[in-house]
Amino acid sequence: MLSKFFKLLKESILLQCWVILLLFIVLMCFVPISNGYGRLFFVITIPAFWASSIYMLKNYKIIATVLFGLGIAFILFLILPGSESKNKSLRVSYINSLKSYEGTKYIWGGENRIGIDCSGLVRNGLINANIKQSFLTFNPKLFRNAFKLWWYDCSAKAIRDGYKNFANHKFKAKTINDIDTSKLNIGDIAVTTGGSHILAYIGNNKWIEADPGIRKTVIIKTPSKNPWFNMPIYILEWSQFTENNIK
């Protein structure tokens, strides 16, 4: 009788822990602002949730086995060497990802579709593109690139200053309106010289930005009277594109 009680108590505690893990994962997916501690806990939570789910489903052997197999397959995928992308599909995927954020509410520090800021937009666009291409081309290196971009959160100023070698400088311009777009590649990014704002070039004289003044993500065509298009900027290129000559 007592052993049965403790068994039920154990199962109850495990269920509560599983629910807490699930709620945290959902919370992390929907709350737009996160920090280093949240990222660390999220990384710990995912494998813990996977392992606890397998245990909770131990009486459903087929489901538990499939879940276990999928987890192991993903781990094996992550540790394979992979290679950098050498074709334009990554750039195109990046542009499509950026465009998908059009209309998203501006939230300072935001990093998802609930709310996003200028640096969150250009980073998340590349994170999403890397993840998508990693699975489409079975290339784990791209998934690891996405994880690095996600793990090392950074501002427009940090990107301008070469944080983690994420981006390389191409040239300086008086304003975005003054740029000869023949010198640009889709996916190039523009950072104000003061490091307060960042935008991405999506082709056909159009730029996308999470604009703190307009309070949402917008696509703007040059020339424009928007103040961000009329101040000195640096043009940069993501190192992923530079190192692999993706034009």
pTM over 0.95: no
Mark 97-109 as b/e (b = at least 16 C-beta within 10 Å).
bbeebeebebbee
Question: Residue 2: what pLDDT?
Answer: 54
The pair of structure tokens assigned to 222 is: 């040059």
Structural domains counted in the chain: 2
* Torsion 42-47-48-53 (CA) sign: positive
Block means of pLDDT (10 residues each) for the chain, length 247 residues? 60 83 89 90 93 90 95 94 83 97 97 96 98 95 96 96 96 97 96 98 98 98 97 97 69
Is there a single domain that holds both residue 197 and residue 131?
yes
Q: What residue numbers bound the domain in which 73 lies?
A: 2-79
Question: In this structure, are residues 24 and 45 in contact, taking their beta carbons and an 8 Å threshold?
Answer: yes
Q: Are residues 6 and 43 in the same domain?
A: yes
Runs of H (alpha helix) within the chain: 2-30, 36-56, 61-79, 89-99, 118-136, 140-151, 156-160, 239-243
In the prediction, which pLDDT does 135 show? 94
Q: Does one domain contain both 108 and 126?
A: yes
120 & 226 share domain: yes
Coil, strand or helix: which one is 78? helix
75 with 93, same domain: the answer is no
Q: Please check whether residues 29 and 118 belong to one and the same domain.
A: no
